[in-house]
Chain A
Amino acid sequence: MEVTMIINGSSVTRDVEPRTLLVHFIRDQVGLTGTNVGCDTSSCGACTVHVNGESVKSCTMLAVQADGAEIKTIEGMASPSGELHPLQRAFQENHGLQCGYCTPGMVMAASSFLAENPHPTEQEVRHGLEGNLCRCTGYHNIVKSVLAAANETAEV
């Protein structure tokens, strides 16, 4: 079945088997490998992308369900000139990543969360990232990074 979606601003059309998961479509057919597969059971959040502006676990969505949707992956966060998104910069500055495997999902989940709650408390950030696991257990600095990004955006 032919599907078309806007991924990071560009229209992409491919022929897919209906059982193709969105994450495999993004990684294997479109070649954007920034989105990781972690647990593959919608628990860990490594595969988090935005579908029409909201965080979604792309291992638990079919590519055909996303037909016509606007998708944003970690590759779409920095500006075309390479300037990091405020969240990416905050992760870098606050040591919000260790091995980095969970980071693309963390950044996408955090950016969706901040869109819904631009001025969160620390507790709200922790709840907002409940669906994203960091096996390095670097949560403290991840939360710090999200709060830093929220503050920076608030100041602008």
Chain B
Amino acid sequence: MFPSSFDYVRASSVAEAISILANEEDAKLLAGGHSLLPLMKLRLASPSKLVDIGRISELSYIEDRGEYVAVGALTRHRDLEVSAVLGSSVPMLSHVASLVGDPSVRHRGTIGGSVAHGDGASDLPAAVLALDATMVAQGPNGTREIPASEFFLGFLETALEEGEILTEIKVPKIHGGWSYQKFNRRAQDWAIVGVAAVRNGSTKVSLVNMGSMPLRALATEAAMNSGASISDAAALAAEGIDPPADLNASADYRRHLASVLVKRALEEASSS
């Protein structure tokens, strides 16, 4: 399987990539390619032009900026995994990155690619949601910041406008506990259901593969933040959520998994 034909152009700076995107109707950005190329090989995506931003090395960094850690969009999963800065300030992000795909995938995939793809079944989008991160996007009209809670809009749909590039993710440092629960049956599989919980003052809980996009467990969060017990809050994990059914799990089984995993995640996040 190989993709349909496309034109290929390499951008050497963010500004150059933005100007190429501005002049193309149907161009897609290519970073590590580990979300986009599989879709193109299945002909589920057939962009007329790929703008390869993979060599813009200025977008690959992990920097301590006081209250938060700034992660360049082209930082690879492997670099997140072994980062000393993340290890001491946002260990959950390193841990979640270490569970994405397998080592060879993590050598190529980038955090910006994964987050901009916005797959509800992927680990990193749900992680940035629970971490309450802020996405920094650059476009023809300048730079803007989008909170994670407003970033994911639907099935593979994000708040990024046409012509915008996700350049940085600002991740608040974790001062309390955290947990990431990934439930799958085989190594390297996608989560059947996953849960990220972060207790950073208030409690934030997000869900993987419980909908068409990464979701917050809002009822659980509200219960936790008003003093409910972990068991009572976890029982609300799937409240108002309509999970998909597939060959791995029925919708009911997913709801059940969500409350079990949310309970485990909250217990772990409360004990650390």
Interface residues, chain A, CB within 8 Å of chain B? Answer: 1, 17-21, 24, 40-43, 45, 48, 51, 54-57, 60-62, 64-65, 109, 112-113, 116, 127-128, 130-132
Contacts and interface: CB of A to CB of B under 8 A. Distances in A.
B104 A64 contact: no
Contacts of B78: 54
B187 to A, nearest CB: 4
Contact of A109 (B3, B104, B108): B104
B107 interface: yes
Contacts of B10: 64
Interface stretch (B33-41, B113-121, B261-269): B33-41
B271 to A, nearest CB: 24
A109 B107 CA distance: 11
B1 interface: yes
B147 interface: no
Give the 5 A-B CB pairs with smallest separation, nearest first.
A131-B102, A18-B8, A130-B187, A55-B104, A130-B102
B52 A57 contact: no
Majority SS at the chain A contact face = mixed
Kindly state the interface size class of chain B when it binds its partner: 20 to 34
Interface string B49-69: 010101000000000000000
A112 B102 CA distance: 13
19 contacts: A1-B8, A18-B5, A18-B50, A21-B2, A24-B2, A42-B38, A45-B104, A51-B107, A56-B108, A57-B104, A60-B37, A62-B37, A64-B52, A65-B52, A112-B103, A113-B103, A131-B101, A131-B102, A132-B102
B202 interface: no
